[in-house]
Every structure is written in structure tokens, then in C-alpha cells.
Structure 1
Amino acid sequence: MFRNILIPTDGSPLATLALDAGIAFAKEAGAKIAVLTVTEPFHLFSTDTEQLASTREDYEALARQHAGEILAAAVVKSERAGVPCETDHARSHEVYRAIIKKADDIGADLIIMASHGRGGVGALVLGSVAAKVLTHSTIPVLIYRKK
């Protein structure tokens, strides 16, 4: 049923668990995966501590390095499981749109992603990438939540 799965990840512990679960799911389904990480561009006015302590060049270099580490780890895991894997690093002010665009571009028939489960004011202020993907995607989305 599912043959081409997109797994977006930010490298967080929960997203890593979702990646592991997605690889296991793909193996069972005989599917291939694409792993995507999205970096928000440097903002001159930001509350992100990484951006506050960095110049634009430093931030971009660290973002590329971090994305490379996340994607390299995903390739190792998928190879161990025998699951075909491609990777991509995108930059976007709207992470959810980058995820949906990538899913459309590769013809994904499923998106598997983590939800950090923020509630209350945190969800209102920060929003939820997972909720936005669920709301705007026409592709089925499987959400991995912490138990």
C-alpha cells in the first residue's frame, strides 16, 4: 500500500524515535524512504539562542553541519535495515510547507513524523509543524507521539 515514505526530522530525540519507527514501518511495507531535514534561514531578529549567538555565516555553517549529521545517521540506519533511502536538506521560513513540497516532489504516499505534543500556550504561540502538515497535506500523515 505504501511504497514511498517521507520522514521529516529535526534530529531531536523524539524525531529520531519517529525515524526509527518509520524505517521499521518501511521495511515491513517493502517501501523506500526519503529523509528530510529543514533549517529555518537566519533571522536578524530572533529568540532562537543559536541565532542570537551567531553571525549569519556561522549559523549557516552550523546548520549545514547539523543537517549533514542528521541525514548521515539516517542513511546508516536505513542501510542497516535494508531500506532504500534518499536524503535532502531544505531551507524554509515555513517548515511545514517545505515538508509538504518535498512529499509532493517525490510522489510520497505517506509522511511519517513526530509530534512533540505541545499543548496550551506553547502550541498557540509556537504552533505545531505536525499539526500544520496534517491540516495542509493531501498525503496521509502518520504521527509518532511519545508514549
Structure 2
Amino acid sequence: MYEKILVATDGSPLSDKAVSHAMDLAKLTGASLIALKVIPRYPRSYLEGGATVELSEIKRIEAQWTEQAQAVLDKIKADGKAVGVKVKTSIAKSDLIAESIIAAADKQNADLIIMASHGRKGIKRLLLGSETQHVLTHSQVPVLVLR
């Protein structure tokens, strides 16, 4: 049924639930798992929502975010190994999270995208946006959303 399942994670408890379901589904179907973490770029100017910070400090912060992302992905890879699921990991650096998830699924020829939804409603959803909603409406790959 599925050969490659992409699971998007942000390292949150809700995202961990999506990873767990993705792992179970991959094991059940014999699929490999692609674990993706998208990390944003640090705002480089006041107009982008960030304070003016030295370039060396920005690089240090971005390196720290990458290191934290890799730790999340390494845990997923170890969990996969423990249950016999082949896991490939990927970090995307972009402010366009939904587009990065869709692009990774296309590039990796994923059969399914699994991700969590934080379930925001009303004004919070309007103000904060919904990466999950964007993936649902723009992906050509089927999407399984967990809450």
C-alpha cells in the first residue's frame, strides 16, 4: 500500500503522536519513513520581526536550531531501528513550512504525508495560520492529519 511515508515533526508532544502513528503505519505496511523537521531562518532585520543582531549571533542561533532538530530526528531514527522501520531523516531550512513539507514529499516520492494539527479555531487560526491546512489544500500527495 505505502512504500514511503513522510512524517513532519516540530518536536512537540502532539507532533510526537503523529510520529508514533507514522511509525506504526510504516511497520504495518512495510514502508520506509522519512522524518522531516523544518526550521525557520532567523529574522535578519527589524522588518522581518527580529531585532538587529550580529551575523555571528544569527549563525550561532541557527546552528543551535539545526542541532536541536537533528536530535529530534536522531531519536526518531533510533526508535525506527528498534521496531524494524527504515527511517531517513531530513532538515529543511525555510520560513515556508508547508511548502517545504510538500516539496520534500515530492522530492522523496512519498506516498503519504502524516502530520499533526494543533486544532486552533477562530481568531487564533486566522492570526497564526495553519501549516497543516496549507499542506492539505496544496499537496498532490495524500495527507493524514492527527489531533
List alignment gaps of at least 5 residues for structure 2.
Answer: none
Conserved? CA contact 1:38–1:91, under 8 Å: yes
The TM-score normalised by the length of structure 1 is 0.90
List alignment gaps of at least 5 residues for structure 1.
Answer: none
Q: Secondary structure at the match of 1:2?
A: coil
Q: Does 1:80 align with 2:82?
A: yes
Q: Secondary structure at the match of 2:89?
A: strand
Q: Does 1:15 align with 2:19?
A: no
Cα offset for 1:126? Answer: 1.0
The TM-score normalised by the length of structure 2 is 0.90
**Could you tell me how far apart the structure 2 residues matched to 1:73 and 1:119 are?**
31
Query: What residue identity is the alignment partner of 2:58?
Result: R
**Could you tell me how far apart the structure 1 residues matched to 2:125 and 2:25 are?**
28
**Could you tell me how far apart the structure 1 residues matched to 2:132 and 2:20 are?**
17
**Aligned pair partner of 1:112 in 114, 120, 124:** 114
**Could you tell me how far apart the structure 2 residues matched to 1:66 and 1:137 are?**
27
Aligned-pair identity in percent equals 39
Cα offset for 1:47? Answer: 5.9
Cα offset for 1:21? Answer: 1.0
Q: Give 2:125's aligned residue.
A: 123
How many aligned residue pairs are there? 141
Cα offset for 1:95? Answer: 0.3
Q: Give 2:138's aligned residue.
A: 136
Conserved? CA contact 1:115–1:144, under 8 Å: yes
Conserved? CA contact 1:24–1:81, under 8 Å: no
Query: What residue identity is the alignment partner of 2:136?
Result: L
**Could you tell me how far apart the structure 2 residues matched to 1:11 and 1:71 are?**
9
**Could you tell me how far apart the structure 2 residues matched to 1:74 and 1:47 are?**
32
Moved more, 36-45 or 133-142: 36-45
**Could you tell me how far apart the structure 2 residues matched to 1:55 and 1:115 are?**
32
TM-align CA RMSD: 1.7
Conserved? CA contact 1:108–1:139, under 8 Å: yes
